[in-house]
Chain A
Amino acid sequence: MQKRLILNPELLSVTLHRLCHQLIENHDTFEHTVLVGLQPRGALLLDLVATTLQQLTGITCTKGYLDATFYRDDFRRRETPSKAHQTKMDVVVEGKKVVLIDDVLYTGRSVRAAMDALLAFGRPDKVELLVLIDRKYARDLPLAPDYVGKAVNTLASQKVLVQLEKEKQNKVWLINEENDAA
């Protein structure tokens, strides 16, 4: 298995700050904004974004954690079913500007499921998408992100691994599966 580092901790921090400044540019005081992280790893990115925003502006954003497993379109079609995670949406999204946050945008199917899941909590005024990594030219659906950390060219045989679990150890890797190395 070959691994290539796409974002090291320093660069990831710079990217995160840029994304937060872009959010501030569009959302001002965040009064009518709800940040929603997609479980599992989008939720970790959401926490990082919220902490950075707090440091930059002093504003505590309204947060929600959304799991879209029950809305996926590959139910009964996967070899092993995907595991559901906790949904924690103690927020009203009716009439709000929602920023969906996920680690990697690939085919766009998770985001479609997430938009479906989001509607169970009301009708937002606007929905935007923030991703740390955009895997270019890989979309199955007509979707485009509004905020992109880094856009990368990838092959279908490759994987993008986002490590956000440990503080100061945040990294993003591009992985070549050995079998598909050719």
Chain B
Amino acid sequence: MTQLSQKHLLGIKNLSEKDIQLIFDTADNFKEVINRPIKKVPSLRDITIANVFFENSTRTRLSFELAEKRLSADVINFSASSSSVKKGETLLDTVNNILAMKVDMLVMRHASPGAPHFLARHINAHIVNAGDGTHEHPTQALLDTYSIREKFGDVAGLKVAIIGDILHSRVAISNIFALQKLGAQVMVCGPKTLIPKHIKSLGVQVELDVFKALQWCDVANVLRIQLERQQIKYFPSLREYSLYFGINLPMLKKLDKEITIMHPGPINRGVELSTDVADSNHAIILDQVENGVATRMAVLYLLASQKQ
């Protein structure tokens, strides 16, 4: 198979296992490209991509922009805070205005779940979801699972624990879909108030004791507490969260095996991860960032390669 089954990347849920493997195989090639002296290929030289961010982002946006530039695409950036959205323009009008300038692909982040799905029904350009509210963040899940595959050779059969604020995390949902499609077992762990009520219906295990979760897993993907999305208090204080759910080096040393620590960033040092863990050789956090560029190049390349 040399083609994705989808026209857009809206979420991991719509991808097949073959799609994910194709993205991984293509990302392998791009990883070699970004480690060359000249880190650029001309594939997307006749394509214009708009990065439309209605919500703040540093890493994802930089990573997408770099991926686009490494593929020689023309890039325009748009952020809601400095745009006419503030003057009352609708999402569809804003996007149609951008597309009227002959843009071929759209990378969008939006605070409302389903925003890219809505757009996909109304516009012709390829859409890549860079995070829609608390719903999905597909490229993050792809780079996470790609990093696991790189470290372990295969994702199938591994045990992965996702620890932290599951309720507000699009990274968690996309990771659960991706890991399960690739044959891994998934556990979620966090304060009871931050675990969605029906999460078990996705076929994941739930654990409230972080040490037990660490004992069970091969890989721990640790998430940030998303205070900006929490309208009410879900736990008494960050200090208390860190005491009960924070991961530190003595805990990892107590385990009878070596586990791998991942984090999608940004890290709140001293809250979910202590500094000694974040900087230890258990962590593959910076590998994730490097792989982010390669996997995003693969996604953009594969979507763009579909015949017009």
Interfacial residues, chain A to chain B (CB-CB below 8 A): 67, 69-71, 75-89, 116-117, 119-122
Contacts and interface: CB of A to CB of B under 8 A. Distances in A.
Given A76-B46, A81-B302, A89-B36, 9 more contacts: A70-B42, A70-B43, A76-B305, A76-B307, A82-B2, A84-B29, A87-B33, A120-B37, A122-B37
Given A80-B3, A81-B2, A70 B33 contact: yes
Nearest to A75: B43
Contact of A84 (B26, B40, B304): B26
A75 B45 CA distance: 10
Contact of B36 (A67, A69, A79, A121): A121
A80 B41 contact: no
29 contacts: A69-B29, A70-B29, A70-B33, A70-B41, A70-B42, A70-B43, A75-B44, A75-B304, A76-B46, A76-B304, A76-B305, A79-B307, A80-B2, A81-B306, A82-B2, A84-B26, A86-B29, A86-B32, A87-B32, A87-B33, A89-B36, A116-B42, A117-B41, A120-B36, A120-B37, A120-B40, A121-B36, A121-B38, A122-B37
B307 A77 contact: yes
Contacts of A117: 41
B9 to A, nearest CB: 16
A71 B2 contact: no
Interface of B: 2-3, 25-26, 28-29, 32-33, 36-38, 40-44, 46, 301-302, 304-308
Contacts of A82: 2
A18 B161 CA distance: 60
A120 B32 contact: no
Contacts of B32: 86-88
A120 B26 contact: no
Nearest to A73: B42
B2 A87 contact: no
Contact of B38 (A78, A79, A87, A120): A120
Q: Name which of A67, A69, A81 has the most chain B CB atoms within 10 A of its CB.
A: A81
Contacts of B40: 120
Nearest to A82: B2
Secondary structure dominating the interface of A: loop
Given A81-B2, A83-B2, A87-B32, A71 B307 contact: no
B307 A121 contact: no
A82 B307 CA distance: 12
Contacts of A71: 41-43
B247 to A, nearest CB: 37
Nearest to A84: B29
A71 B36 CA distance: 15
A3 to B, nearest CB: 25
B29 A87 contact: yes
Given A71-B42, A87-B29, A76 B2 contact: no
A122 B38 CA distance: 9
B308 A67 contact: no
A161 to B, nearest CB: 19
B20 to A, nearest CB: 16
Given A70-B42, A87-B32, A116-B42, A81 B305 contact: yes
A117 B43 CA distance: 11
Contact of A67 (B29, B43, B307): B29
Contacts of B37: 120-122
A122 B36 CA distance: 10
Contacts of B301: 70
A114 to B, nearest CB: 13
Nearest to B32: A87
A76 B43 CA distance: 9
Contacts of B308: 76
B27 to A, nearest CB: 10
A86 B307 CA distance: 24
A116 B41 CA distance: 9
A86 B28 CA distance: 8
Q: Name which of A87, A120, A122 has the most chain B CB atoms within 10 A of its CB.
A: A120
Nearest to A67: B29
The 8 closest A-B pairs by CB, nearest first: A70-B41, A81-B305, A120-B38, A84-B29, A83-B2, A70-B43, A81-B2, A87-B32
A50 to B, nearest CB: 21
Contact of B305 (A67, A75, A89): A75
Contacts of A69: 29
A88 B32 CA distance: 8
A77 B8 CA distance: 19
Contacts of B29: 67, 69-70, 84-87
